[in-house]
Structure 1
Amino acid sequence: MRVSGQNRRFLFLQGPHGPFFNRLGRLLRAAGAEVWRVGFNRGDRAFWTSGENYIPYRGAVADWPAAFATLIEAKGITDIVLYGDTRPIHASAVQAAKAAGLTVHVFEEGYLRPYWVTYERGGSNGHSRLMTQTVAEMQTALARLDMDLPDAPARWGDMRQHMFWGALYHWFVLSGFWDYRNFKPHRALTVRQEFWLYCKRLVLMPLHKAERAVATFRIKHGGFPYHLVLLQLEHDASFQMHSPFKTMSEFLTVVMEGFARGAAPHHHIVFKAHPLEDGRVPVAHEIKRLAKLH
């Protein structure tokens, strides 16, 4: 079945680092849709090859809601596409788009990475419609699904590629700062700090791989029962916006206290860091500190 994009006008906002949104936009145009892209910094522009469909936004964040309302009316937009729905420029756009009756397409980091991204209409993470459904309701919906589901790949992808696109994106943002002076990143760190963290992570990957191999060997051959704790990034939107915790230390304290009270003395606890943990939060140091307290 051929999908038609006729009479649909898509407005892309910020996407993932790299060429994914550009490729998606080309596919939508090939299907007959009209596609526009708003860029908020030089990194956004660098990964969007269609200059005639690119709209730079150089205004202040406070003026963005009014500019967005004017833009969707002037272009007759029917759909907006964005990556992550909690950063300020996206949150206000989603709210206005829903009020105007537009379809909101939200992409987010994949639950299994780096091969996948997630896609939902209306919102993701804590804003997902899944949050209002029970597991039984999800299973019923899946049973009625008539689409062919792809098989899991033999290999999940190369995290180095993810880090490369991240470093390159932030380099473009830095080099083009004067063109977009009002741009403010949605995270606490500056663009320069983000860039150097990506570079540091790339350089130290062999060391971290060796550390993981040693730790995995000790766990597999230790002969002890253990409890596994999967860690999220402290600066991730799902942690900051959709959890009761404000810092990783708060979460680790709850886990450590519960383990100390309830686990058998011969049990161990294993913390699995997020694959993109870059050291901006001293997680390993905090785990050691809390372990000594308990």
Structure 2
Amino acid sequence: MSVTTASRRFLFLQGPHGPFFNRLARMLRAAGADVWRVGFNRGDALFWGDRDSYIPYTGTQEDWAGCCADLFQRHAITDLAVYGDVRPVHAQAIALAKARGITVHVFEEGYLRPYWVTYERNGTNGNSELMDMSLDDMRRALEKCDLELPDPPAHWGDMRHHIFYGAIYHFCVMALNGQYRNFRPHRDLSVGQEFRLYLKRLWAMPLTSLERRIASWRIRNGGFPYHLVLLQLAHDSSFRAHGPFDSQAQFLETVFEGFARGAPRHHHLVIKAHPLEDGRMPLRGIIRKLTAAYGLQGRVHFVRGGKLALLLNHARSAVTVNSTAAQQVLWRGMPLKAFGRAVFEKPEFVSTQPLEQFFSAPTRPDARAYRRYRHFLLETSQVPGGYYSLRGRRQLMRHVVDMMLAAHDPYTALRLGDAAPRQQLRMVP
């Protein structure tokens, strides 16, 4: 669909917690586009500044598809913007949009974290165009790019802001949602449970940080070889939609069995929780039971989130379902075993060995090929900045609006040689 900026008409659905979508809409309007936002709860409404363009959806999940189709027609929508593509209201809207030739803009957390976000068209993660793209395709596209591979910035990102906005969002949904009585969260827990978990995580951050530092110090200074297990959140969309396991417990049992059968007896297993792990899963209890069941007492360690780099620097290998943290593993040239569908699931990177054999003698990735792959991502779908902090949003806005208004998606633009210049972040000595 070819349209001028003045005739672009955007419909936003649910975005990241906080003001990012509102700020993005303001800049799109400044560029000449029209923007509307559908809100499904009071948390969505809180972070949208323009009341005239806000559309509250108070119907049921079953009625959403019909309402969405009506909104597309009534407002002559040319573009749909969402954060994540697998929650039910988004998946239905995306399917309708594709059938009508509407451009679909999908935002997600960065494939290359911590200080990038992902912007793609039509789908992300297991639904990304990257899934069907070979490394040869990427190499040919990069032939038209003369820039050097940018260095990763030494900055963790927006963790405290993320948790803060999440707590506010869930409080609004829990306490002020009278207008949206039909709203049902796309996750298993109730809104009240989500809010309590956010509060608990906020006040417990100092104690959790101390515990994590002690556990990490003991592992780094333990003098033993270890393998790292990278956990995802129990409600992680990639884990649930693009992974082969029904639960984290099932994944962990598979890992423990493979480790017990294949790893040398002096090797250890380190389980690292996701930085946003909130306690909804009894991970400690699951790990204790599996440790006893497989006779691994004294060889299993648990770390509650935190930075990954310090643990990776001394690890022998890493195992995950499809966590984006695997990109840090590959960046270091470490052996990686992954189970789910992921954008980094290339035969040049991910081991195809059975898990028992992987823990015994893991094969290494093609480091040169991975650098090329990473370079391709940084020139296309990985945008510097963040959703949650003011600093991160400012950095993100410098690029992402032009990318949304461009005629081609980031991958096609690079292949055709008409991608906009990208001033990527660099470490300054």
Q: Structure 2 length as normaliser, TM-score?
A: 0.65
What's 1:100 paired with? 100
Q: In the aligned structure 2, how far is the partner of 1:37 from the partner of 1:149?
A: 37
Deviation at 1:175, TM superposition (A): 2.4
Q: In the aligned structure 1, how far is the partner of 2:114 from the partner of 2:160?
A: 10
Q: In the aligned structure 1, how far is the partner of 2:251 from the partner of 2:281?
A: 13
> Do the aligned residues in 2 keep the contact of 1:114 with 1:159 (CA within 8 Å)?
no
Q: In 2 relative to 1, CA 240–69 (structure 1 residues): closer, same or farther, beyond 3 Å?
A: same
What's 1:277 paired with? 277
Percent of aligned pairs with the same amino acid: 60
What's 1:51 paired with? 51
Q: In the aligned structure 2, how far is the partner of 1:280 from the partner of 1:15?
A: 23
> Do the aligned residues in 2 keep the contact of 1:78 with 1:103 (CA within 8 Å)?
yes
Q: In 2 relative to 1, CA 149–98 (structure 1 residues): closer, same or farther, beyond 3 Å?
A: farther
What's 1:126 paired with? 126
Amino acid at match of 1:124: T
* Unaligned 5+ runs, structure 1: none
> Do the aligned residues in 1 keep the contact of 2:114 with 2:155 (CA within 8 Å)?
no
Amino acid at match of 1:162: H
Question: Helix, strand or coil: the match of 2:63?
Answer: helix
- Does residue 198 (structure 1) correspond to residue 195 (structure 2)? The answer is no
Question: Helix, strand or coil: the match of 2:186?
Answer: coil
Amino acid at match of 1:89: V
> Do the aligned residues in 2 keep the contact of 1:58 with 1:181 (CA within 8 Å)?
yes
Q: In the aligned structure 1, how far is the partner of 2:148 from the partner of 2:181?
A: 46
Question: Helix, strand or coil: the match of 1:104?
Answer: strand
Q: In 2 relative to 1, CA 106–171 (structure 1 residues): closer, same or farther, beyond 3 Å?
A: same
What's 2:267 paired with? 267
> Do the aligned residues in 1 keep the contact of 2:19 with 2:47 (CA within 8 Å)?
yes
Q: In the aligned structure 2, how far is the partner of 1:148 from the partner of 1:69?
A: 45
* Unaligned 5+ runs, structure 2: 295-429
Amino acid at match of 2:68: F
Deviation at 1:289, TM superposition (A): 1.0
Question: Helix, strand or coil: the match of 2:223?
Answer: coil
Q: In the aligned structure 2, how far is the partner of 1:146 from the partner of 1:128?
A: 25
What's 1:116 paired with? 116
Deviation at 1:136, TM superposition (A): 3.8
- Most deviating of 11-20 and 102-111: 102-111
Provide runs of 4+ in structure 1 moved above 6 Å. 146-150
Q: Deviations over 1:3-28 (max 9, x none)?
A: x7322111000001000111111111
What's 1:34 paired with? 34
Q: In 2 relative to 1, CA 198–125 (structure 1 residues): closer, same or farther, beyond 3 Å?
A: same
- Does residue 12 (structure 1) correspond to residue 30 (structure 2)? The answer is no
Q: In the aligned structure 1, how far is the partner of 2:77 from the partner of 2:172?
A: 28
Q: In the aligned structure 1, how far is the partner of 2:224 from the partner of 2:136?
A: 35
Deviation at 1:180, TM superposition (A): 0.6
> Do the aligned residues in 1 keep the contact of 2:80 with 2:104 (CA within 8 Å)?
yes
Greater helix percent: which structure? 1
What's 1:239 paired with? 239
What's 1:152 paired with? 152
Q: Structure 1 length as normaliser, TM-score?
A: 0.94
Q: Deviations over 1:257-290 (max 9, x none)?
A: 0111110000011111100110101112211210
Q: Deviations over 1:114-137 (max 9, x none)?
A: 543211111011111111123343
> Do the aligned residues in 2 keep the contact of 1:5 with 1:29 (CA within 8 Å)?
no
- Most deviating of 18-27 and 153-162: 153-162
Q: In the aligned structure 1, how far is the partner of 2:113 from the partner of 2:206?
A: 19
Question: Helix, strand or coil: the match of 1:59?
Answer: coil
What's 2:83 paired with? 83
Q: Deviations over 1:206-242 (max 9, x none)?
A: 1111111111111111111111111111211111110
What's 1:135 paired with? 135
Q: In 2 relative to 1, CA 267–120 (structure 1 residues): closer, same or farther, beyond 3 Å?
A: same
Q: In the aligned structure 1, how far is the partner of 2:148 from the partner of 2:30?
A: 23
The alignment of Structure 1 onto Structure 2 pairs a total of residues equal to 291
What's 2:161 paired with? 161
Aligned-residue RMSD, C-alpha: 1.7
